Structure formats: structure tokens, C-alpha cells
Amino acid sequence: MAIGWKGVFPAVTTQLRQDLSIDLADTQRVVDDLIRDGVTGVIALGTVGENNSLEYDEKISVLAAIVEVVAGRVPVITGVSEYDTRRAVRYAVAAEKTGADGLMLLPPMVYVPQPHELVTHFKGVADRTGLPIMLYNNPPAYRTVIDKAVLEALVDVENIVAVKESAPDTRRFTDFRNSFGDRYVLFAGLDDVALEGLYLGAQGWVSGLTNAFPRESVELVAAFERGDHARAMEIYRWFMPLLHLDAEHDLVQSIKLAEQVMGRGSERVLPPRLPLVGARRAEVIAMVEKAAATRPAAVSAKAA
């Protein structure tokens, strides 16, 4: 389906059984619940989906299960997070055949490319698929920067259409708009600067904490879009303690624990990650419980 490139796209979790095998049915349930709560699209197999902890065949199985349950109701974008261009191309081609509507393309993992190598990597994947592509910029996590020079070198690659901006420096939204106008659709990709991103030109939000509080996330963006800035700020300020979790090293464990507290999923994660323990686990649980007890009134879901 065509991607509208706006709204709330949660990076959905991959659910696991007690033996840490992939639970496709529960992953489908989690995704279906998010759609029923009004999200605009889903990101399958992003960081929160534990992409790099899965084998190739597991990735395809998870993606196929998500495509099946979504059933065309919203776009499905899948993360392409691989060690090298050859593996990225292989997965991108398979994802298109599996029914993904778009790709979220990351820099190569482990090796830190020079700018011209990064451009070659992105072009190498884009040339092998007809799917629209969102590039994922996250310098703190991946030690490389998709800067203006890289985007300038990609401006003629027609299916590279969007950028998920996860750098904490919100000035980049304005710099990109000044440099490229509307050539690239911008998405806020770091939860605790999401509203700032929207004000500075982002058209949507790729979110982690939406997995635990989807209705509030949808209402935040909807309030911004209709010009109800007081309402958007009310939700954002309520949400902020949890949104900070998205910028932490243990974001995957924290988000999956938040899902569990809210009765939406399980905290189980794949090694080398382990579930939170001790004071950190208690801290996150308390934050989620407080948010649940003080959530803004009259948050409505989109009709299922």
C-alpha cells in the first residue's frame, strides 16, 4: 500500500516465549492491538524489534507474520539493519517479496563507514528494490552521521524518500529543511524530542514508548496537527519521564517491560540483552505505573 509518511509509527516489539523462541502469534496480537489503538503505521524489526538478535530466517518469519495480521490496514515498514551491503540487499529484496510496504535503512552495523561508503551502501540497497526507503540517522548509536553531504549525494535516488532523525540535536530538522525543502520527508525518531521535531518540520514520529501508551501517542500528534498546542504539550509533559527511556542504552528492555506492566506484551528479550533487574527494574515499573495512574483524560482511539 502507499505510505502516507505522517503520523505515529511505533517500532514494534518481537514477542518471545519462555524458552526465547519467537512467538509469532503474540507478536501479531501486539501489532493488532496497536492498530486498533490508532497508530498510522508500524515499523517491524527496528531496534526495539531486536533486529540484530535475530537470524535471517527468523526476520522473514516475523515480517511475514506482521504483514499477515496488518492485512493492509496500515503501512508496514521493516528495518534493514545488516553488517554489510550484500546482506542488506538480500534482506531488502526478501522483504519486498514478503509484502513490506517500505524499508527503514540503517548504516552498516559494526563497521563505521566514511561518507562516500555510506552513500554507496544506501544506493546499493535502493538500486535493488522498488520500495520507498526511510534512512535512519542515529549518530549516538551507530557512530556515523547522515549529514547534508550524504543526503545531497542521494538526492537523485528516487526511492529514498524520508529520513528518521534520531540525533538529539533538533537543529538538524531546520538545517535539512533549509537545504532540501520537501525533498525528504522528516520523521522524529527520538522519543524525548518528538514534539520539538514536529514543530521543526517532521511529519511523523517513529516511536518506542508508543508500544506501552499508543492512544496517548496518537492523541499527542493529532493535537499538534489540529493546532491544539496546549493539549499536545499537556500529553508531552505527562509522557516525558517515560520518553527519556528511549534515549537510554537499555531502551529495548525498558520498553518491553513497560509493555508488560501495561498488559500489552512480555519483557522477555534475546541475549545478550537480559530483562532489567534490581533498582533499575523497580524504577521503570514505578514510572510506568505512575504514568498509567496520571494519564491525560479523554484520550480516544481510532475506530478499529
What average pLDDT does this structure show over 275-293?
A: 98
Question: What's the whole-model pTM score?
Answer: 0.95
* Average pLDDT value for residue range 208-231: 98
Q: CB-based burial of residue 82 (10 Å sphere; 0-12 exposed, 13-18 middle, 19+ buried)?
A: buried
Residue 42 main-chain phi, psi, to 5 deg: -135, 145
The reported pLDDT for the residue numbered 258 is 98
Under the banding of pLDDT at 50, 70 and 90, the label for residue 302 is very low
CB 109 within 8 A of CB 136: no
The whole-number pLDDT of residue 261 equals 98
- In the chain, the amino acid numbered 139 is P
Beta carbons of 5 and 185 less than 8 angstroms apart: yes
Distance CA 118, CA 101 (A): 23
> If 0-12 CB within 10 Å is exposed, 13-18 middle and 19+ buried, where does residue 245 land?
buried
The DSSP code sequence of 110-138 is: SS---HHHHHHHHHHHHTT--S-EEEEE-
How many CB atoms within 10 Å of residue 24? 19
Residue 139 binned pLDDT confidence (cut-offs 50, 70, 90): confident
Q: Say how far apart CA 262 and CA 148 lie, in whole Å.
A: 40
Q: Which amino acid is residue 10, in one-letter code?
A: P
| Cα distances (Å, whole numbers) of residue 141 to 53, 66, 89, 251 | 16, 26, 22, 12
pLDDT confidence of residue 140: 84
> Which pLDDT belongs to residue 142?
84
Does residue 197 surpass a pLDDT of 50?
yes
Q: Using one digit for the tens of pLDDT, what is the confidence trace for 94-138?
A: 999 999 999 999 999 999 999 999 999 999 999 999 999 999 999
Q: Render pLDDT for 1-35 as a digit per residue (tens, 0 to 9).
A: 789 999 999 999 999 999 999 999 999 999 999 99
**Residues with a known catalytic role:** 136, 164
Dihedral over alpha carbons 262, 197, 192, 240 (to 10 degrees): -70
